[in-house]
Structure 1
Amino acid sequence: MPVSRLNRVAVLVLDGAKPLDVGIPAQVFTTRASMPYEVRVCGAASGLVTGGDGLSYHVAHGLDALGWADIVFVPGYRHPDREPPGPAVLEALVAAHDRGARLAAISTGAFALAATGLLDGRRATTHWHYTRALAAQYPLVRVDENVLFVDEGSVLTSAGAASGIDLCLHVLRGDLGVAAANHAARRLVAAPYRSGGQAQYVPRSVPEPIGERFAATREWALHRLGEPLTLETLARHAAVSPRTFSRRFVEDTGYTPMQWVMRARVDMARELLERSERGVEQIAADTGLGTGANLRLHFQSILGTTPSEYRRTFAQGE
């Protein structure tokens, strides 16, 4: 949303922190004209923090940064199923949450959030290698091992490191809109949109040529959202039966083919609302949604708002 000051992001580096997990939010939310964020990297205290993989971090801020931040990222760290972070860290996380900051864990950072009790009764995920350990250590947490990330509003969790990029782009879409998130994705050379419900991994082997064809079909469909797209059309492009296509598509993305197409069309409509002055009826036609009434219906169903409200919130220049 439009802001009168920079959004404040704290990246909490714990002992054993994984370097990629630390770097993802620090780089995604780096301060630049297109990214109205200020990032502070912090630890239990300022100074040297011993990380994982042979690296250490010199952080400029201590836990006071959590009292400053609008969103706190907790990167993954080594051996999360052993001792939880110290009481001062857990108390600072709870205090930040209580005053309204969002808490977002990347990978095994979910263990730190679980130790605060803030995940009790909520859905959460972590790296697939640790999902059983998280469920065993914190039985009140509803662990979902088959998703890339989970957004529970004030607390968010993600799977392995690459899923941290998906989580950060998800936060960007909510804060600044689709165009800003797509811009960041292009800068990172990352997929602009992967559903949080997409599976972390496919538990059985998949013939690579079919996997490549399915990815190619999704890319093909993204360039033809204004045209009629049916299950049969998509399956024909992938050179498999509609039944096989539908089953595999759900495994790969977490959505049925038509749910995925609908969300892709709504995302295209979101970007047109942000970046153009086209009317709702024209946008509906351009995105394959048919009529303005249909666009409004799906906007409300998927996003919980109307196209006009969305435009007022995210239109460029506001």
Structure 2
Amino acid sequence: MELIRGLHNLREKHRGCVATIGNFDGVHQGHLRVLAQVKAKAAELDLPTTVIIFEPQPREFFGGDNVPPRLTRFREKVELLQAQGIDRVVCLGFNKTLRSMSAAAFVDQLLLEGLAVKHFVVGDDFRFGCDRSGDYDMLKEVGKQRGFSVANTETYLIDDERVSSTRVRDVLLDNNFAQAQRLLGRPYCISGRVMHGQKLGRQLGVPTANIRMHKYAAPLHGVYAVTVHHQDQLLGNGVANIGMRPTVSGTQPVLEVHLLDYCGDLYGTLLRVEFKTFLRAEQKFDGLAALKEQISSDIEAARSFFAH
């Protein structure tokens, strides 16, 4: 799969495709239906598939207190799209220039001049352009005039309720991992590279693999029983804390994973952490001794969970 960053990197070879556009946060079951529609039409027309995404996502650009946590960070999203057999991902930097672009200019510069789209699939709630005039009806009309077809994707329901990124966040907030798996079509995971930390876990006798969450918040917060994978290899079961580490005055969110019965150097390794069950909320303890005692209890709780 080819990743193309920005309009300026589109070339003549990228013209002529079947495309769709959106945030694709989580690449959930609703998104998979859109991608299946794109792939089917691309096979019919013998054209490559293209998915257009934004970085940051528009709601993150506008900021404020209501920015939802990400289900998938950029790397994870691209990997999930690649796993679906998508040929190209065009990532547009969402900035002041893109924000101020009208829907008509967006269609001209990206869909027509940049990609020469032959068929365009949009979600049932998609809007674009600074004037918010870009929607299915507008695209359909422009397509008739400029020679591309447009398809609207119907809402995908599970249990008579729309599958959406918001719904996935809500069930994760309730620690309902079984339902999250139904909505996503896979277990909920967070992936990241193991970084050097304070080595505090090692001092406490429970070494941890630390994965920084960087600027985007995760939809989970607390202590969990997890399984940990490297590439396609299962490394083992573990206990994970995701949060701010208030006992040691943490300032940035971190995913810390202690692998049960594992010895080895994981620094620099790209891990995939699959969340199995919620153990407790993150809390601040009165010193490291109390923290160590609680970690021992967490490890026993995780062992008990995996034993059943």
- Structure number with greater CO (CA < 8 Å, separation at least 6) is 2
Q: Larger radius of gyration, structure 1 or 2?
A: 2
Task: Name the structure where helix makes up a greater proportion of residues.
Answer: 1
Q: Give yes or no for TM over 0.5.
A: no
